[in-house]
Structure 1
Amino acid sequence: MSPAAELLAQRRTVLLDFDGPVCAVFGVITDEAVADKLRTLLPGDIPADVATARDPFRVLRYAATLGVDIAAEVEAEFHHEEYRAVSDAPPTTGAFEVLRALDAIGHWVVIVSNNSKGAVRRFLHLHGLASTVAAISARSDADPDHLKPAPYLLLQAMRQLSVTADECVMVGDSVSDIEAAHAAATPAIAYANKPGKRERFQSHSPEAIIDTMTELLPQ
């Protein structure tokens, strides 16, 4: 049995990242286009690293330094763009099969995502997957301290289901997912969905690394 399979056999609650493991949120509407849209809401001179950032989360984090009102405006527009994007977001190969299989054998899956809760919920409903997910713990405000790699969303997910860290495992496709899992005292399965990720992940010591989502199917 693989390390990932062993973790799933031992732990009933799967904390599952959304963008990557479930779908490519910005597979059609690009993250760079969203970052450009968010930048139009920023006042004054913008630091060079923010002005050229392709990642909309970088823009959101900068907006949070400008005050509550600006941050809320940027976050609301970000949510709008994500909500629009998930209508056409390409599903990850094997993800739907994994969600249905884990649900069928009695696992609880919680989507734990820096993307907005509304966008996650919309995607699941569009694809008839809402019933396979026990809860959603995702972005619901403009506070960047609530986003991974901070453990906030993972701990919130645990509270939602009244489970402890030793009953959970986190599955994600980024270093921030590994860091958030370890900060929440739960193991991480890292999904290496792009070349070079496996090597990058190894230095962060996830408990398992997978190359495809189908490796999470019950064995």
Structure 2
Amino acid sequence: MRSNDHVESGTPARRGLFVTIEGTEGAGKSTNQRFIAGLLSAHGAVEQTREPGGTTLGEELRALLLKVRPETFRFSAMAELLLIFAARAQHVEEKILPALEAGVHVVSDRFTDATYAYQGAARGLDPAIIRQLEISCIGDLQPDLTIFLKVDAATGLERVRARGESDRFEQEKISFFESVQQGYLRRAETFPARFLIIDANQPLDQVQCAIGEAVGRALDRR
């Protein structure tokens, strides 16, 4: 979703709001990303994007990371991490930063917090290595608001598997997603000012009420 609003020539654009939505599989990220974009569209142009992905290169890397069958090829944890950061570096340079600097709001399905949760907490990679790559690839870019949709791991996997064929990550054991969940919670403890944890087991209208309040506060802080 992106409107055709333009900034008057010579007038510097006010930086767009950067919102990320995080959660384990089946948490409802896609549905709520659209909801957030709808809220922000009342306040200017909006770009919806995702990770890994968001650019031509990123989408190619996404397909490689998600669609390769584990029985035919197994990534090392470090190879997986490096591919994700390659996609992210391109994503930030090509899409996210130009949009924000032009005053466009950006809503991303996943960002760097996902890497600390999946490749750090669940794959067991050293957070210091992830931090080094983060600094090298995207500098100090952080979301203005991160919404973490917390869903019971078993419930999330049931939702995913009801949709049909699972991707490479969705085929992991429930213990993997429990570790991911703990990784996200540690990130929320580290960055409480930008994180909002929402119980995604509750009805959608309650989830979106909490999201709407958080987005409103984030807009007021700009």
More helix by share: 2
TM superposition score normalised by structure 1: 0.38
TM superposition score normalised by structure 2: 0.37
